[in-house]
Structure 1
Amino acid sequence: MEFIDEGIEEYARLHTEPENDLLKELVRETHAMVLQPRMLSGHLQGRFLSFIAKVYQPSLILEIGTYTGYSALCMAEGLKVGGSLITIDVNEELETFTRSFFDRSAYKEQIDYRIADAAIEIPGIEGPIDLVFIDADKRNYALYFDLVIGKMRPGGLILVDNVLWSGKIIEEAAKDKSTQALRDFNTKVANDPRVEPLLLPIRDGLFLLRVI
């Protein structure tokens, strides 16, 4: 399900800061060599993530779900001097590919790329965390939120991707486990008094949760 007309999206891209050469190469190589390239954040969402990070200037970013590293590289653009970004993914098959792009970036020394189970890794991360991006297995979104919320600094931001799930979120006939998990998650965080929620129809749905 497309939420915005393709022509409008193209117009928006043309009036948005372009990707740098490394990100363009990463997009090409992901489409050529990796399964499910649609999982990339893409130009508009990537620039949105970069924009938010530049506004917040975080000292510590946590990303849950690295894929091939596009979103991590975008968010790293906004890190404070001396800041760091921890990105966690369980898929070790993509490690060499992804790390090669991290190593060629200006943020090589600031990106801490971990192949691990996020549910096990997160409890050992010391806060405060300024910015979190959740873009991993949908059935564990609620768990990841619960694990990070107590580590966030007041005023910090949790971003959660794919919360409209190609429109299935509002289809009554869609009863698969991932869709239901996302429905439950969306309801949970929308009613959590610890965050101020804003759900935006960007790409596949992006939840912004400002920690109170």
Structure 2
Amino acid sequence: MSDSVLPALLQSYLDELVPDRPAELRAMEALAAAEGFPIIGPACGQLCYLVARMVGARRIFELGSGFGYSTAWFARALKETHGDAGEVHHTVWEQDLSEQARRHLAALGLLDLVRFHVGEAVAALSAQAGGFDLIFSDIDKEDYPASLPVIERQLRPGGVLIVDNLLWGNRVLDPAADDPATAGIRRFTRLIADSPQWTGSILPIRDGLLLALKR
């Protein structure tokens, strides 16, 4: 499955418009490309950074963080807005990914802003004190619907939810696609759209990024 539903030239154009960024972030992008590791990419990273800056987020929780690429964008926003006062929670199943993220974030000078969790992401979110300003989700897609009650409980009113892969390589448009991941994305999207608690929109960049405000 392609990482982007956009034509390659258009995605490249959007990525090239992202302002210059630290060499370590570019190295992470090169590593992801070389290893075929899925990351949100520069255009989505810039959007996450921008939203965090716009809402003045101090507490951010990531459900699924990979080797720390999206974490770095959020942590940069916190650093530039609040100095060392904020926190980003990085969650992965694998200890080696957590350690890799620590190395990247240390190289970026952002390590002190990050709280690391190794284990199931929704359980880790549930175990925290609530009142997060921003929650980002990129977990297994079949688990998206079941995660929503925990997200709703832990995100403050007026907080922002960002969810990756809502277009899922355009499989959500294919009536014949009924695998658990695609079905989970469709169900989650409908739950957000039909809920009086949320105002949201899917931005068709990369693989579809949901941006939703908790009322």
**TM-score in same-fold range (> 0.5):** yes
- CA deviations on 1:63-108 (whole Å, 9 max, x unpaired) are 0101111001001111133010011111223222222112222211
1:49 aligns with 2:51: no
Q: 1:142 aligns with which of 142, 145, 148?
A: 145
Letter in structure 1 aligned against 2:207: D
Deviation at 1:204, TM superposition (A): 0.4
The answer (yes or no) to whether the contact 2:165–2:207 under 8 Å persists in 1 is yes
Q: Which residue does 2:59 correspond to in 1?
A: 60
The answer (yes or no) to whether the contact 1:65–1:88 under 8 Å persists in 2 is yes
Look up the SS of the partner of 1:77 in the other structure: helix
Q: Which has the higher contact order (CA 8 A, sep 6+)?
A: 2
Cα distance in 2 for partners of 1:84, 1:186 equals: 28
Q: 2:179 aligns with which of 163, 176, 179?
A: 176
1:11 aligns with 2:13: yes
1:199 aligns with 2:199: no
- CA deviations on 1:105-151 (whole Å, 9 max, x unpaired) are 22110101211112322222112100010011111112222112122
Q: How many residues align?
A: 209
Which segment is superposed worse, 86-95 or 197-206?
86-95
Cα distance in 2 for partners of 1:199, 1:101 equals: 30
Compared with structure 1, are the counterparts of its residues 17 and 143 closer, same or farther at alpha carbon in structure 2 (3 Å cutoff)?
Answer: same
Cα distance in 1 for partners of 2:14, 2:163 equals: 22
The answer (yes or no) to whether the contact 2:11–2:206 under 8 Å persists in 1 is no
Look up the SS of the partner of 2:88 in the other structure: strand
- CA deviations on 1:142-165 (whole Å, 9 max, x unpaired) are 222211212222211000100110
Instruction: Give 5+ residue unaligned stretches, structure 1.
Output: none
Look up the SS of the partner of 2:192 in the other structure: helix
Aligned residues with identical type, % of pairs: 24
Instruction: Give 5+ residue unaligned stretches, structure 2.
Output: none
Q: Which residue does 1:166 correspond to in 2?
A: 169
Look up the SS of the partner of 2:77 in the other structure: coil
Compared with structure 1, are the counterparts of its residues 177 and 45 closer, same or farther at alpha carbon in structure 2 (3 Å cutoff)?
Answer: same
Cα distance in 2 for partners of 1:16, 1:189 equals: 29
The answer (yes or no) to whether the contact 1:54–1:77 under 8 Å persists in 2 is no
Cα distance in 2 for partners of 1:151, 1:3 equals: 31
The answer (yes or no) to whether the contact 1:19–1:43 under 8 Å persists in 2 is no
Cα distance in 2 for partners of 1:11, 1:138 equals: 28
Deviation at 1:206, TM superposition (A): 0.8
Letter in structure 1 aligned against 2:28: L
The answer (yes or no) to whether the contact 1:56–1:78 under 8 Å persists in 2 is no
Compared with structure 1, are the counterparts of its residues 195 and 41 closer, same or farther at alpha carbon in structure 2 (3 Å cutoff)?
Answer: same
Q: CA RMSD in A?
A: 1.6
The answer (yes or no) to whether the contact 1:55–1:78 under 8 Å persists in 2 is no
